[in-house]
Amino acid sequence: MNKNKLAVMFTSNNHEWETPKELFEKLDSEFHFSLDVCATAQNTKCTKFFNKKTDGLKQDWNKNTCFMNPPYGRIIKEWIKKAHEESLKGTIVVCLLPARTDTSWWHEYIIPFAKEIRFIKGRIKFSNNKCGAPFPSAIIIFQSPEHEDKPVEIYGKPIHGSPQVSRFICKFCKRKYNEKECPNCAVLNEVK
């Protein structure tokens, strides 16, 4: 592999990866987005959006159905934390993220709190790049517990009892889990 391609894979020089139109349209047909939380006027996918100046990290996402393709540098953890926090207030947040399962943010926010994780087969060709992404990608869906009784739709087929949806939510730390006792708080919780 040439040194330039290898350097791209392990650096955060380019933080903005514009969402492919076809991928967004497929997700939008399912979720009907009302807000793009980290965009520019040139690459926004929604009429309503936050850009660097309006800073989506400082805004209330206000129970919108949000699309989030955050900057992929070190700040990504702050965006994922914000997506989780907003979901607890009733916002649905659908994220296009690098599938970096070895990172702290993946283990702190995606595994315990995501309603659904959809790994994307192959590499995405982002709109502002000639080649496919140098990393795998995933669609992460954050929804508040009030939405969890609704079936998840994947490829138009309702799937009930999806393995990504945990049976319990801790009353104290709000983490999802499948046992009767929260491994984080060791507190017994009732079945939803």
Contacts of 80 by beta carbon, 8 Å cutoff, 6+ apart:
70, 95, 97, 105, 109, 110, 140
Taking 3-state DSSP, the helix, strand and coil percentages for the chain, each rounded to the nearest 5, stand at 25, 20, 55
Is the per-residue pLDDT at 28 higher than 80? Answer: yes
Domain check: are 155 and 77 in the same one? yes
What total of structural domains would you count in the chain? 2
Burial 30-65 (b: 16+ CB within 10 A, else e): ebebbbbbbbeeebbbbeebbbeeeebeeeebeebb
pLDDT single digits (tens) 50-96: 999 999 999 999 889 999 999 988 899 999 999 999 999 999 999 99
Domain check: are 40 and 96 in the same one? yes
Cα–chain-centroid distance for residue 172? 23
Domain check: are 103 and 173 in the same one? no
Tokens standing for 115? 């309603």
Domain check: are 156 and 175 in the same one? no
Domain check: are 44 and 71 in the same one? yes
- pLDDT given at position 151: 44
Domain check: are 37 and 76 in the same one? yes
- pLDDT given at position 35: 96
pLDDT single digits (tens) 146-191: 655 544 433 333 333 333 444 455 656 666 555 556 655 654 444 4
- pLDDT given at position 43: 87
135: domain CATH number is 3.40.50
Q: Residue 100's closest CA among 70, 125, 135?
A: 135
Q: What is the domain extent for residue 177? A: 166-192
Identity of the highest mean pLDDT range in 2-11, 65-74, 117-126? 65-74
Question: Residues 116-121: what's their mean pLDDT?
Answer: 91
- Between 90 and 17, where is the model more confident? 90
- pLDDT given at position 12: 43
User: CA-CA distances (angstroms) from residue 59 to 15, 128, 141?
Assistant: 21, 27, 19
Domain check: are 32 and 125 in the same one? yes
- pLDDT given at position 88: 93
- pLDDT given at position 185: 60
The DSSP letter of residue 151 is P
Question: Residues 131-146: what's their mean pLDDT?
Answer: 84
